[in-house]
A and B are shown apart, each in its own frame.
Chain A
Amino acid sequence: MSGIDRRDFLKLVGAGGVGAGAGFMLAESIKHPVEHLIPYVVPPEEFSPGIATWYNTVCSMCSAGCGISVRTREGRAKKIEGNPAHPVSQGRLCAHGQAGLQVLYNPDRLTSPLLRTGGRESGDLIPITWEDGLSQVAERLSALRASGQGNGVCFLSEGVRGHLATLFELFMEQLGSDRLLHYDFAHPQTLYAAIDRLFGEQHLPYYDLRNTRYLLSFGADYLGSWISPVHHGLGFGHSRQGRDDVRGRFVQIEPRMSLSGAAADEWIAANPGTEGILALGLAKHIVDEGGYQGADRDAWAAALAPYTTAAVADQTGIPAATITRLADTFAGTQPSLAIGGGAAGNHGNGVDTLIAVNALNYLVGNLGQEGGLVFNPEPVVGQGSNARQASYRSMLELAEDARQGRIGVLIVNQTNPVFTLPAAAGFKAALAEIPLIVSLSSFMDETSAMADLILPSHSYLESWGDDFPEPGVGFSAGAVSQPVVSPLYNTRSTGDIILGLAQKLGFGAALPWPSMEEYLQDGWRKIHARGATNVDAESFEAFWIDVVKAGVWGENTRRETRSFTVDSSVIDSIGVEAPQFSGSSDDYPFILHPYLSIALHDGRGANLPWMQELPDPMTSVVYGSWVEMNPTTAEELGLTEGDLVEIESPHGRIAAPVYVYPAIMPNVIAMPIGQGHSEYGRYAKDRGANPIEILSPQMEPLTGSLAWSATRVRIIPTGRQVELLKTGGVSRELGREIIQTTGADQNAGGLAALHSIPITVVPT
């Protein structure tokens, strides 16, 4: 019946049967695309029509590494839920993770390998075969390798962990290149450096929000965008109402109220960049009051001497009474927890700030405590998230190498530095000097638009892989990600592309695996051999099936809590410099506070229609950028909501409408990151502005990471008005008592048991 659809068949019947005119009518009928009336005469084996099949895999929308369960029907992915067995997500998922389906089914996905003909600016992209595409890349790579210039190959990837990361290592080793970089805009590089310096740990600790009684968050928007929001959300909920006798108290210190600031019991605005000074002020008060009794108490007291309450109050702008109260409560409420990140870690003094914040945990004895800070074991596979992360400085070095002609081939995997680096870095111009740029992106983003050859990867829902979340949850855990649908297009998984190139280059014994799936299985044989895991299986085959099915693997052992004292050289060097901002405060009176959008993250979510139409939690704005300013600032400048202004830094100028924001310091203006794409598909393109573009190229000196909260700007009204698209109208309750509150004394707390009952959801 191919060639005739149902409607045409009825037409034929209506015409009096298939007779003399049938030839003509058949010819007419095949003008339309062929539609089969009964597609499942021989039903595929993987599923039964009408019955949902669930596959457990791993979310790749951000670097948190949540385990997910994907509901599929008739071979299509229908819904993503959290995997209840996975320790990070525990059956829960954020808005961004839910929208993963729109990555898979995005109308703007690249559907086959593409080759640019003509120049980068003018040339067209024509579809080619995989064979052709891989051969072209392999040819260039082997030429470089043969002439001893293997190091001229640079592989720039998004942050990946697990076996994909080790595959990249092997591949680059064979090429003879050490230019393997991971680049994520939001990677908490300063936090890694602070933890390393203070505790001698190369990996992030687990912050136990769930069991804490008192949390001081210095700039970390842990519920919105910091590291692992779903897991933090679980911890927050439990800390609030999951214990009958105690309700966790949360304090947020930041210049602009974030989602976590709104959830906190107390929101405190310290002068931008002085969060670390505040932390040291608290530390001094705690040490002075006898809250710390370690042997090195005198060393701490000496190091903290300059941070008197009066001096700290002066620098941070926080009243002295508040400082002593915070310090007393922090020391007196056990277990307590101090976390730092976000804007506080993105100043020139970022590492020192985060050392100061985490030192608080040490001083009051939160290390290794339930409700405190727990160290994680070594990564199961590879070297973890931070080992290959490129700092801003290494990206500048890459750009310089490119300009000097030292880069022959650049392979870019799913990262978009042209969008997430400031214009001052000159990265885009440097790319133009690279003879061959290969992109493995699934979308035509700003960086892929510079590529000569595009070998599009599968989406994460079509690929094999694995992930070991970092920070872990205090014990070793991970999950295998498996394809949940057959590939939609003529794309390949990143691992398979690398293995395909390895074959063409004749790497043979070094990378012998024919596919990512087999490489993965080979790697998991070693994990099986470790034993002592949640999956108890004798044979590897049974183990593998169990791990893939469960969507989670974990070791039963926790790491021993080690006791230690902070090195005396670290104590002596403790201190936080006053923050440095580029531009004079006369010319540029405002400090720009860019923040990660909850819906769009660092811009990667901008091509998802659900995320574009998801009201920003704090402002309810959709489809565009805005600039937040304090009501008094707006009044002084004569601005109201919707007034289009230009935001000018010493390094550029962008335009956005004003949103009057009640909880931001008067000398700070804030902008969400994520919009302002010049490419990246129909939903993202030409919408809003990208604040990263105008950032000053200042660095934190130790890590070389971008100090992206340290730019000064001025506001230039344009006199034009634009409509700010947002939900709702009235931002105040006006006595309607819609959100009701009650005093702590009315909090009976008897609901803890409700969340400890295991829930079995009927699989639909």
Chain B
Amino acid sequence: MSLVGDFLTRWRAYRKPGYIYGDEFDGARRDYDEFDYAWTMTIDLDRCTGCEACVTACQAENNIPIVGATAFAKGRQMQWIRIERYWEGEYPNAKLGFIPMLCQHCDAAPCETVCPVSATYHNQDGLNAQVYNRCIGTRSCAVYCPYEVRYFNYNNPVWDAPLAEQLNPDVTVREKGVMEKCTFCIQRIRQAKDHAKDDGRRRVRDGEVQPACVQTCPAEALIFGDRKDPESRVSISMNDPRAYRVLEELNTDPSVIYLKKVDDNAG
């Protein structure tokens, strides 16, 4: 096999979710054959009201610092999940649409290939993960991310005493110069896996893991689960005819699937 052919096949394999190497690579390095879990979130835009409960829940769960007005003016705010809003039409027919935007945990993530130090990578659960203490802060991943959901720590976080008492001990506090992003609340996933193991089960049951945003959503717009389980709530909802992925044409293969808003204005 030629070097080029070898490289292309390897590249394709690398870009394919689960890192499944082809048969011609018998004996080659295998990271893992497939995901243990494929964590997925569906967001029903017909339920979402844009109330932003998810935003604060995420900040509380993941120790995301408040940057202050000065840094905010420079566009340095950090909200792993945010609500985007788009106006359509003009008065009196103006409409406002909301969409929660968070790391899409793409299976072909542009941010992963660009990191010079492999600080961002795909883990065995299909999560797009960030290794904070490997990150050297080139911010290339943020440039490559088409969803703009990566946030850079321009400053060391500050919590006026005693606000730091609230910090979640299960989540590290990131320092200046490090990129961070939504983890699908990986600490909760780990906890659920440990719990399953202690229980003598091999797998986490559907519904056992709820990221903070999913748990708090008053309209129950968010569903989280393992799409490898065909019976899971997320599998059922992602197969709804209303399902779509944002910027699908980029072939990033996101793990966040949106359900279209229903426009009921025939009557």
Contacts and interface: CB of A to CB of B under 8 A. Distances in A.
Contacts of A736: 247
Interface stretch (A184-192, A298-306, A644-652, A748-756): A748-756
A725 B69 contact: yes
Contacts of B86: 731-733, 738-739
Contact of A613 (B61, B66, B167): B66
B113 interface: no
A738 B86 CA distance: 9
B107 to A, nearest CB: 20
Contacts of A563: none
B191 A617 contact: no
B13 to A, nearest CB: 31
A265 B265 contact: yes
A78 interface: yes
B88 A262 contact: no
Interface string B162-175: 11111111100000
B23 interface: no
B29 to A, nearest CB: 34
Interface string B68-108: 11001100010100111111111110111111000000000
A673 B196 CA distance: 48
A107 B163 contact: yes
Contacts of B90: 631, 662
A265 B264 contact: yes
B12 to A, nearest CB: 28
Contact of A247 (B160, B247, B264): B264
A224 B168 CA distance: 28
Contact of B216 (A81, A630, A666, A759): A81
Interface stretch (B1-9, B122-130, B134-142, B235-243): B235-243
Max count, chain B CB within 10 A of own CB: residue among A620, A632, A751: A751
A742 B262 contact: yes
Interface string A730-764: 01110010111111101110110011010111101
Nearest to A611: B56
A623 interface: yes
B216 A739 contact: no
B109 interface: no
A159 interface: no
A95 B56 contact: yes
Given A105-B166, A241-B47, A764-B191, A742 B242 contact: yes
Interface residues of B, number: 89
Contact of B244 (A247, A740, A762): A740
B28 interface: no
B163 to A, nearest CB: 5
B192 A76 contact: no
Contacts of A260: 49
B247 A613 contact: no
Interface stretch (A10-18, A86-94, A451-459): A86-94
Contact of B217 (A92, A488, A622, A762): A92
B46 interface: yes
B91 A105 contact: no
Given A263-B50, A761-B208, A107 B261 contact: no
Contacts of A744: 262-264, 266
B61 A746 contact: no
Given A229-B218, A727-B82, A249 B237 contact: no
Contacts of A96: 56
Nearest to A666: B91
A682 B50 CA distance: 28
A662 to B, nearest CB: 4
B115 interface: no
A372 to B, nearest CB: 21
B69 A623 contact: yes
B10 interface: no
B51 interface: yes
Interface in A56-83: 73-74, 76-82
B153 interface: no
Interface in A207-245: 223-224, 229-234, 236-238, 240-242
Interface residues of A, number: 102
A588 interface: no
Nearest to A108: B160
Contacts of A746: 241-242, 260, 262
Contacts, number: 280
B20 interface: no
A609 B72 CA distance: 13
B84 A728 contact: yes
A280 B69 CA distance: 47
Interface in A547-586: none
A616 B201 CA distance: 44
Contacts of A764: 170, 187-188, 191
B208 A95 contact: no
Given A224-B51, A663-B91, A754 B233 contact: yes
Given A106-B163, A259-B51, A741 B216 contact: no
Nearest to B52: A95
B171 to A, nearest CB: 10
A105 B98 contact: no
A704 interface: no
Given A618-B85, A751-B240, A740 B220 contact: no
Nearest to B221: A237
A98 B77 CA distance: 19
B258 interface: yes
A452 B241 CA distance: 65
Given A741-B260, A743-B266, A748-B241, A241 B49 contact: no
A102 B220 contact: no
A257 interface: yes
A759 B210 contact: yes
A234 B247 CA distance: 29
B59 to A, nearest CB: 6
Contact of B92 (A269, A618, A739): A269
Contact of A620 (B85, B205, B215, B240): B85
B218 A237 contact: yes
B38 interface: no
A128 interface: no
Max count, chain B CB within 10 A of own CB: residue among A234, A263, A757: A263
6 contacts: A93-B53, A107-B161, A613-B67, A615-B83, A738-B247, A761-B215
Top 6 A-B residue pairs of the complex, sorted by shortest distance between their CB atoms: A233-B218, A237-B219, A95-B56, A662-B94, A98-B56, A759-B207
